[in-house]
Amino acid sequence: MERWSKQSLDRTYVPPCEQACPLHQNIREYVDLIGQGRIMEALKVIRDSNPFPSICAYVCPHKCEENCRRGRIDKPIAIRALKRFAVEFGGDRMVRIEQKTLFEEKVAIVGSGPAGLSAAYYLRRFGYPVTIFEAHPEAGGMLRLGIPEFRLPREMLDLEIERLIRMGVEIRTGTPVTSLDLLFRAGYKAIFVTIGAQQGRRLGIEGEEMAGVVDAISFLRDVNLGLRPLLKGKVVVVGGGGVAMDCALAAVRLGSERVDIVCLEKREEMPAGKEEILYCEEEGVVIHNSLGVRRVVGERGRVKGLELMRCVSVFNEEGRFSPRFDESSISYIDADYVIFAVGQMPKVPEDFRLPISRAGTISVDPVTLTTGRPGVFAGGDAVTGPSSVVDALATGRKAALRIQDYLQHRYPFEKEFERPILKEEMKEKTVEMVRKVMRFDPPRLKVEERVSRFEPFELVYDWESAVSEARRCLRCGMGAEITDQERCASCLTCLRVCPYGVPYVDEKGRVVIPPSDCVACGICVTECPAKVILLRRPSDRRHIEEGLNYLRMASDAAEKRPTIVGFACQYGLFGTGSLSPLFSYAKGGLEVIPVLCVGKVEVEHIIKAFELGTEGVFIAGCGQRQCARERTLEFAREKAARAREIIGGLGLEVQRVEVFDVEELDIRIAIEGFIEKMGALKLERSLREER
Amino acid sequence: MAISAFEEKLNSGKFVVTAEIGPPKGTDVSEMVKHIRLLKDRVDAMNVTDHQSSVMRFPSIGGCLLIKELGGEPILQMTTRDRNRIALQAELLFAYSRGIRNVLCLTGDAIDIGDHKEAKPVFDLDSVQLIRMVRTMEGGKDMAGNDLKGGVEFYVGASCNPGCDFIEPQLLKFEKKVMAGARFFQTQGVYDLSSFRRFMQYARQFDVKILAGIIVLFSYRMAIYMNENVPGVFVPEEVLEELKGLTGPEALKAGIAIAARTIRALKEEGLCDGVHLMAIGREHTIPEILEISGL
Amino acid sequence: MIVAQQKPLEEIIGMLIPYDRILILGCGTCVTVCNVGGEREVSLLHSSLRLAQSRGLAQGKVFSEYTVKRQCDKEFLAILEEKAREQDAVLSLACGVGVQVVADYLPDLAVLPGVNTVFMGAFSEAGTWDERCAACGDCRLAATAGVCPITRCSKGILNGPCGGAKNGKCEADRSQDCAWILIYRRLEAKGELDRMRRYYPPRNFRTTSRPRRIQGR
């Protein structure tokens, strides 16, 4: 949230992942930090705009991944898995519990689902006293009652709720709210209604009331509350969304002989996530597409099977849900149990006196989330109908902001992005030049181990896989830009050195670096003779100068010159660890300046390092094969050659500048050799000076 | 009426022999005098090179005067590398006044292959323009169109390269030189008779005299060196093979044999009007070569 | 465009000996394009000089840096009133034209050349610039199929080739093609060999007598 209101030097474009995320998380930044091995910092970025990242890490439908531009090259980045890695690595750290109460106005939240929990988190952060009223004996809403344990472990949920309570949020479980007037009379100044959509829809067809037929919500609630009904026999789940998949997976674990899914949609139209469909099929569930249920067939009040008819189309020309059937094509499927997962509706008490739409949901103003009843706001499934956890979290945050506006008598100020949004596709030529790297999928338990347990079967990354996956990110929108067309000499150097063919000359003869193609390797920045190309992300621009400056101040303070200064790739130092042996030489006077890829080192940096009084300077790359960008080590070598020319002209030995490719040599041996050589040169010099 | 004794000899149908005399780097001309004395009666005319390979030496005009004094027939070599048109015209006036009547017009080797690499390359004219310059002066005027008080007349020649690896542009240049007024040609070293034959088929249509150049090789290494570093010289593989493994006097003998053999073949086939012997630093071998080849 | 090469650091340091306060002045046009005198090189030279100072050379000197859009037009030099005010010398990284215009503009200061201007040429591939034009004032590219015999023939002759080419390469520089063989092939391909058969009279060097001047626009 802080990001939105800060005027910054950030000239990056908003990438599609951030745009697609309902919480607008700074995904690009935390993925890069994971690649750099800075997991804690990644976690901080995540927590900056996500109140419950551990929950999202398990169940988010990851719209970011659907929009990830890497998908055009090979496969999208496994963002959710990376987030889970960061969350599990960080544990309790980066969680700020202490929160003072700054205001008097009490806020009530009705419903402890994700929208309610999120709104509570943010309102508490703003300093308001918050109370959540939850009808059920345990908090969590659909997180506890709707999502099975094998998708979201209960310990995670309990942990987050406990943190919320420690922050000072009051949660009253087992306390259903029947009238909002009572709350106002109790002194609450604003109310956020998030009662969810916990009533399962029925189709209204013949046979629905038979024994053995249940709606998904009731079924899942029972399962999630610990009841384990034994479903011996054939189970048929009706529905094509995530809820239907959850039901099917639960049914597999409850002893069913066979589980089938029947849905209206064609395979590609199914609203369920691709992963969930995959998990179902892995566990033997059979999915039958384009079928609707005509009636439930039973005997003596107990279901025996379903009569199905072919669904010709699901949506009408306007894209609205309006299925059409071919009643002449009838088929039949055996069923001992039928679970209908065909939609949910909220159950809004009349006493709330809130406007209800035709679909049965609460109507609100889309900008302010107000219901028309003063002081009463609404959000979550109760307003939108069933949607995802992350959408609910975003609504909770928005509601918190709007309630704050209301309590402070402020006009709601909805600010979208300050930065421009990346819209164009990457051009074909550049797509071809990006090295294809297989996606590191997060590991999963084998099917045999999964189907009898209710534990999560998606496992977390190990460090190496996480870092490797994170480095596949294209860094959309944070590439290079020509900052001053006036000083640009149109020398075309950037065009000629770019390994990806990104810069081009437009009709007016100006050189343009399109943000939709640039992958931020930084080579053109170091080669531009007019120094007008800069990287859009501020930290990219500054970090080497800052590193050198810091080293200078530290050396001055300690009154000691570094013996050797090394520019080493951050991704290799902390990320993959290929350069981590460098740290063990620090006591020998070796100072390491981490750089975000050796492609960003300039000749002047090397010269400035010598100004610090060092004996030798080296550049160490994580390895040309490992490096996520092309030709970076090649350019680093050219810079070193130029630096050698300069120091040679000043009487310094050219062996004082070296470039190490960790894939071609043993870094320990190379560094030890270098240190020895520099030590010898230093000795020579002091002997000469003595004479 | 022939302008010079050299021209007369060529016109007579005799198989003419010319030789190259290399001047010293300095004022001690004793070696050069020795060579002139040795050869003046054995060959029909002698060229004095003009800073050959761009190495600064005693000038061609000086050598030609010496030849004249000693009773030989000189051919003045002029390159356009070192002097502008004013100096070139002046030298011709001087040469004519001292009785020199033969002049070979060359562009000259590049400065960079010589020993004064930092000198300024003049090239105010090229060889074709130099030939024209001579003709212009023979018409009684200088290049600026002014009348000459006392004119000149020369037997003008140029060089050509029948052994060049890409012959067509050389033929075109040859034609230009003939059009400009060259009357005789001394070619670069000839080794491969078949390519020389082809060249002569083309050259015969012009009413000019051709003297085939014969470079005396005296070692394998020298042949390789010339192939790689001396402009215009192409020693073929077969000839290199003949010299391989031989050193000192044996190699020289082989070189002499090759030269003599080539001369004899040229004479017997009547391919050209004579030969031009280039025995750089080994001028004393020339009489032997002439004897062996039956001249 | 105009191509230059940086002078060796040693030579530059030698030039600076008599001066204390030196402004390193870059040029944003030709020398930026050939990577020798633009903002990056100014900055790098500044750092290199500071490094030299830390090694005992160029002692006691204070450097400042600035880059103007072009040094060859004095309208761009107005900023020098301020930048060069307290300086003893200007080390210009512009081509010889720029150095002289700045010297005319700041007659009381020493204006020193930091680069050697070498030729007018074109970029051919990474780091390689080739001379293409000698500014002879009498362009004859029509007759030579677009290959300049003055810059690309080491002898600059007009009735080429000479007899020295080997393997299509020039006797003076084996890495360079013989320009006249290049001209021959191009004219032959176009069926225009009579352009090469023509006699071309000696050059009029009056067009290149120095200093040259064009009047009127």
Residues C73-124 have pLDDT tens digits of 989 999 998 999 999 999 999 999 999 999 999 999 999 999 999 999 999 8
User: What confidence tens digit (pLDDT) does each residue in B140-185 have?
Assistant: 999 999 999 999 999 999 999 998 888 899 999 999 999 999 999 9
Going by pLDDT thresholds of 50, 70 and 90, the confidence category of residue A1 is very low
For residue C77, the distance in angstroms to the closest alpha carbon of chain A comes to 15
Whether residue C202 contacts residue B132, with contact meaning beta carbons closer than 8 Å, is answered with no
With bands split at pLDDT 50, 70 and 90, how would you rate the model's confidence at B282? confident
Q: Which residues of C touch B121 (CB under 8 A)?
A: 154-156
Do residues C99 and C152 share a domain?
no
One-letter identity of residue A113: G
pLDDT per position as a tens digit, A667-685 = 999 999 999 999 898 888 8
Mutate: best of A650, A682, A689, partner C, most C CBs <10 A: A650
In this predicted structure, the answer to whether residue B1 has a pLDDT above a threshold of 80 is no
Count up the domains in chain B and report the number. 1
Q: Before A114, cis peptide (omega within 30)?
A: no
Stretch A559-578: mean pLDDT:
90
Secondary structure, 3-state, A548-589:
HHHHHHHHHHHCCCCCEEEEEEHHHHHHCCCCHHHHHHHHHC
Residues B78/B88, Cβ–Cβ less than 8 Å: yes
Q: How confident is the model at residue C164 (pLDDT cuts 50, 70, 90)?
A: confident
Which pLDDT score is estimated for A205?
A: 87
Q: How far is C46 from chain A (nearest CA, A)?
A: 9
Under the banding of pLDDT at 50, 70 and 90, the label for residue C165 is: confident
pLDDT at position A5 is 37
Instruction: Give chains near C: 3+ CB pairs under 8 A.
Output: A, B
Give the mean model confidence (pLDDT) for residues C159-187.
90
CA distance to partner chain B, nearest, from residue C50 (Å)? 35
Instruction: Give the pLDDT of residue B227.
Output: 85
* Contact call for C160 and B109, based on CB within 8 A: no
For residue B253, the SS3 value is helix
Four-way CATH pick for A199-344: 3.40.50.720, 3.30.1330.90, 3.50.50.60, 3.20.20.480: 3.50.50.60
Q: Does C206 touch chain A (CB under 8 A)?
A: no
Q: Which residue has the tokens 């902001």?
A: A401
Which of these CATH numbers, 3.10.20.30, 3.40.50.1950, 3.40.50.1860, 3.30.70.20, describes A480-535? Answer: 3.30.70.20
Beta strands in A216-336 (DSSP E): 234-238, 258-262, 286-288, 291-299, 302-315, 321-334
Banded pLDDT at A334 (limits 50, 70, 90): very high
Its pTM stands at: 0.83
- By C-alpha distance, the chain A residue nearest C125 is A496
Is A8 a residue whose pLDDT tops 70? no
pLDDT digits (tens, 9 = 90+) for C117-138: 999 999 988 778 999 999 888 8
Those residues with Cβ within 8 angstroms of residue B99's Cβ, 6 or more apart along the chain or in another chain: B68
The pairing of beta strand C62-68 with beta strand B102-106:
unpaired
Q: Could you state, in order of their start, the residue ranges of all structural domains in chain A?
A: 2-95+424-470, 106-135+146-196+366-407, 199-344, 480-535, 540-690
Nearest Cα residue in chain B from C179: B169
Mean pLDDT to the nearest integer, B11-16: 93
Would you say A271 and A243 are in contact if contact means Cβ atoms under 8 Å apart? no
Record the tokens describing residue A106, joined without a space: 């009490």
β-pair partners for A288: A262
B159 interface with C at CB cutoff 8 Å: yes
Any domain includes C213: no
Assess whether pLDDT exceeds 80 at residue A588: no
Domain A2-95+424-470 fold is Fumarate Reductase Iron-sulfur Protein; Chain B, domain 2 (1.10.1060)
Q: Is residue C210 part of a domain?
A: no
Residue pair C152/C178 in contact (Cβ under 8 Å)? The answer is: no
**Interchain touch C–B (≥3 Cβ pairs closer than 8 Å):** yes
C-chain residues within 8 Å CB-CB of A613?
54
Burial class (CB in 10 A: 0-12, 13-18, 19+), B234: buried
Asked which of C89, C118, C147 is the last residue of a domain, the reply is: C118
SS3 letters across A506-534? CCCCCEECCCCCCCCCCHHHHHCCCCCEE
Residue C209 falls within a domain, yes or no? no
Residue pair C95/C4 in contact (Cβ under 8 Å)? The answer is yes
Q: How far is Cα A370 from Cα A367, in angstroms, rounded to an integer?
A: 8
Report yes or no: C150 at the B interface, CB cutoff 8 Å. Answer: no
* A9 vs A87: CA distance, rounded Å: 29
pLDDT tens string A478-491: 999 999 998 999 99
Same domain, C74 and C171: no
Q: How far C127 CA sits from the closest chain B CA (Å)?
A: 24
Q: Please compute the mean of the pLDDT values over residues A607-634 and round it to a whole number.
A: 90
Q: Are residues C94 and C32 in the same domain?
A: yes
CB contact under 8 A, A489 and C9: no
**Which of A487, A610, A650 is nearest residue C57 as measured by Cβ atoms?**
A650
Q: How confident is the model at residue A26 (pLDDT cuts 50, 70, 90)?
A: very high
Signed CA dihedral, A481, A485, A487, A493: sign only: positive
User: Which letter does DSSP use for residue A151 in this model?
Assistant: T
Whether the per-residue pLDDT at A7 is higher than 50: the answer is no
DSSP string, A447-480: HHHHTT--S--BPPPPHHHHHHHHTT---TT-SE
- Cα gap A571→A573, rounded to integer Å: 6
CA distance C13 to chain B (A): 25
Pull the structure tokens for residue A99.
Answer: 């929160």
With vertex at residue C114, the alpha carbon angle to CA C111 and CA C119, rounded to the nearest 5 degrees, is 110
Give the DSSP H/E element, type plus range, for residue A274. Answer: helix A274-282
- A494-523: string of b/e by CB count within 10 Å (b at 16+)? bbebbbbebbeeeeeeebebbbbbbbbbbb
pLDDT at residue number C217? 66
Q: Which domain holds residue C68?
A: 2-118
Inter-chain residue contact B125 with C193, CB threshold 8 Å: no
Pairs of CB atoms within 8 A across A/C: 72
d(CA C102, CA C97): 9
Of A585, A667, A569, A574, which is closest to residue A619 (Cα–Cα)?
Answer: A569
Nearest chain A residue to C29 by CA distance is A489
Tell me whether residue C208 is in a domain. Answer: no
> Is C54 in the A-facing interface, judged by CB distances under 8 Å?
yes
Q: Give buried/exposed letters for B70-98 (b at 16+ CB in 10 A, else e).
A: eebbbbbbbbbbbbebeebbebbbebbee
**If you measure CA to CA, which chain C residue comes closest to B234?**
C166
Q: Is C4 exposed, middle or buried (0-12, 13-18, 19+ CB in 10 A)?
A: buried
Distance CA A67, CA A674 (A): 47
Q: What is the mean pLDDT of residues B202-220?
A: 92
Mutation target among B53, B54, B107 for the C interface, most CBs of C within 10 A: B107
Note whether C23 and C89 are within 8 A (CB).
yes
* CATH code of residue C80: 3.40.50.2300
Asked whether residue C72 is assigned to any structural domain, the reply reads yes
For residue B83, what pLDDT is reported?
95
Residue B258 sits at φ, ψ, to 5 deg, of: -60, -45
Rounded Cα–Cα distance for residues A487 and B103 (Å): 60
Confidence (pLDDT) at A189: 95
Q: Do C51 and A611 count as a contact with CB atoms less than 8 A apart?
A: yes
Q: Do A493 and C8 touch (CB under 8 A)?
A: no
End-to-end CA distance of chain C: 21
Contact C69 A486 (CB under 8 A): yes
Q: How confident is the model at residue A507 (pLDDT cuts 50, 70, 90)?
A: confident
Calculate what percentage of chain A has a pLDDT beyond 90.
71
Residues with Cβ < 8 Å from A323, sequence gap 6 or more? Answer: A264, A292, A311, A313, A314
Q: Report the percentage of chain A scoring pLDDT > 70.
A: 98
CA A86, CA A37: separation in Å to the nearest integer?
10
Judge whether A332 and A291 are in contact, CB under 8 Å: no
Please name the member of C9, C28, C51 whose beta carbon is closest to the beta carbon of A489.
C28
Q: What is the DSSP letter of A211?
A: B
- Residue of C166, C170, C199 with shortest CB distance to B176: C199
Q: Does B140 touch chain C (CB under 8 A)?
A: no
Domain that holds residue B92: 5-292
**β pairing state of A504-505 and A188-193:** unpaired
Tell me the per-residue pLDDT of A369-425, one tens digit each, with 9 for 90 and over: 999 899 999 999 999 988 999 999 999 999 999 999 999 998 877 666 678 999 899
Mark yes or no for CB contact C8/A649 under 8 Å: yes
Contact present, A and B (at least 3 Cβ pairs less than 8 Å): no
Lookup: tokens for A492: 């075309």
Instruction: Give me the pLDDT at residue A562, please.
Output: 85
C11 touches chain A (CB under 8 A): no
Q: By three-state DSSP, how is residue B294 classified?
A: coil
Question: In the CATH hierarchy, which top-level class contains the domain A106-135+146-196+366-407?
Answer: alpha beta
CA C186 from chain center: how many Å? 29
Residues A291, A268: Cα–Cα separation, whole Å: 14
Residue C205: predicted pLDDT: 83
Give yes or no for a contact between B114 and B121, defined as CB atoms under 8 angstroms apart: no
Inform me whether the C-beta atom of residue C211 falls under 8 Å from chain B C-beta atoms: no
For the sheet containing A657-661, what is the strand order? A590-595, A564-569, A616-621, A657-661
pLDDT above 80 (res A43): yes
Query: Confidence band (pLDDT; 50, 70, 90) for A512?
Result: very high
Nearest 5°: the CA angle C75, C79, C80 is 100
Question: How far off is chain C from B71, nearest CA to CA, in Å?
Answer: 32
What is the C-alpha to C-alpha distance for residues A292 and A306, in angstroms, rounded to an integer?
A: 10
CA distance to partner chain B, nearest, from residue C172 (Å): 6
Domain annotation covers residue C95: yes
Please tell me whether residue C112 adopts helix, strand or coil conformation.
Answer: strand
CA A360 – CA A345 distance, rounded (Å): 6
Q: Nearest 5°: phi and psi at A334?
A: -70, 145
- Are 3 or more Cβ–Cβ pairs between A and C shorter than 8 Å? yes
Mean pLDDT across B221-226: 88
Q: How far is A487 from B265, CA to CA, in rounded Å?
A: 72
How many domains would you assign to chain C? Answer: 2
Q: What are phi and psi of A66, to 5 degrees?
A: -65, -30
Q: In this prediction, what percent of chain B has a pLDDT beyond 70?
A: 100
What is the rounded average pLDDT of the residues A128-157?
Answer: 93
At C185 the pLDDT is 94
Contact B166 C181 (CB under 8 A): yes
- pLDDT score recorded for residue A2: 37
Contacts of C52 in chain A (CB under 8 A): 650
CATH code for position B287: 3.20.20.220
Q: Quick one: closest CA in A to C6, which residue?
A: A646
Angle between the A538-558 and A603-611 helix axes, to the nearest 10 degrees? Answer: 10
Separation of first and last alpha carbons in chain B? 27
